[in-house]
Amino acid sequence: MGNRGIRKKRKKVRLDAQQRFIKEKRRNLLALPGPREMVIVLDGLKPTFNIGKIFRSADAFGVRKIHLINIDFFNPAPAKGSLRWIPAVFDDSFATCYSTLRQEGYEFFVFTPHSNTVSLQELQLPERSAFVFGHEEFGFSFAPADYPGLHPVHINQIGKVESLNVSVAASIAMYEYSRQHPAGQDIMEALGASGP
């Protein structure tokens, strides 16, 4: 297959993903907030597989909602249906998202690969935590210093890679929050599971 055939195939794949996204976005209008007070904020991520994987993990961990900043669409296939269960809030800017979540009493934790910040594992996460993840290559669309109360954090690593995949980092953050805030009977009932 030549370059022209490859471009044509990529265009078709993107159009198919956009059509699936439109369908899933309509279904998302019926999604109810997850039982935990944890929120995920995705700032300008690529519309490939990472966003869908984050939705899937968010469903597993009972995330309240996911804010998507400057994200017009994404491929919903990796979400495996989770876009139906976790509310998606589409914001044009971080300022809008920040204002909304601050009014709701959330504390922000901005993830960075730099180890000169506080480690996620050292933090005592508040009940209302908002985890912010930026673009895999370009980082955040905003200057964190312009927003008071943003806590820069990193995930401890011992290998040689500079950073984790954003969907993996988000899953680790959700796990750590869930470890610190174990599901009580009310959350287990909301999830349709029986408690201990």
Domain assignment present for residue 62? The answer is yes
Domain membership flag for residue 196: no
Conformation bin of residue 80: beta by default, left when phi > 0, alpha when psi is -120 to 50: left
pLDDT of residue 15: 79
How does pLDDT run along the chain (196 residues), one tens digit per residue? 677 777 777 777 777 878 888 888 888 888 999 999 999 999 999 887 899 999 999 999 999 999 999 998 888 888 888 899 999 999 999 999 999 999 999 999 999 988 789 999 999 999 999 999 999 889 999 999 999 999 999 999 888 887 899 999 999 999 999 999 987 656 666 656 544 4
Which domain covers residue 114, as residue numbers? 3-190
Signed CA dihedral, 190, 89, 109, 100: sign only: negative
CATH number reported for the structural domain that contains residue 19 in this entry: 3.40.1280.10
The set of residues, in sequence order, having a beta carbon less than 8 Å from that of 8 and lying 6+ positions away, is none
Q: Are strands 129-134 and 88-91 parallel, antiparallel or unpaired?
A: unpaired
- Helix (H, G, I), strand (E, B), or coil: what is residue 152? strand
Neighbours of 64 (CB within 10 A): 21
Judging by beta carbons within 10 Å of its beta carbon (0-12, 13-18, 19+), is residue 187 exposed, middle or buried?
A: middle
183 domain-assigned: yes
How much is the pLDDT for 191? 58
Q: What is the DSSP string of 48-104?
A: SHHHHHHHHHHHHHT-SEEEEES------GGGTTGGGTS-EEEESSHHHHHHHHHHT
3-class state of residue 156 by DSSP: coil
The pLDDT score that the predictor gives to residue 104 is 97
The answer as to whether 45 is a domain residue is yes
CA pair distance 25, 61, nearest whole angstrom: 21
What is the structure's pLDDT at 111? 96
Domain count, the chain: 1
- Helix (H), strand (E) counts: the chain: 5, 7
Whether residue 29 contacts residue 55, with contact meaning beta carbons closer than 8 Å, is answered with: no
The region, left, alpha or beta by phi > 0 then psi within -120 to 50, assigned to residue 17 is alpha
Please check whether residue 195 lies inside any domain of the structure.
Answer: no
Q: Is residue 101 part of a domain?
A: yes
Rounded Cα gap, residues 69 and 20, in angstroms: 20
Structural domain contains residue 17: yes
Q: What's the pLDDT at 196?
A: 41
Residue 59 lies in a domain: yes
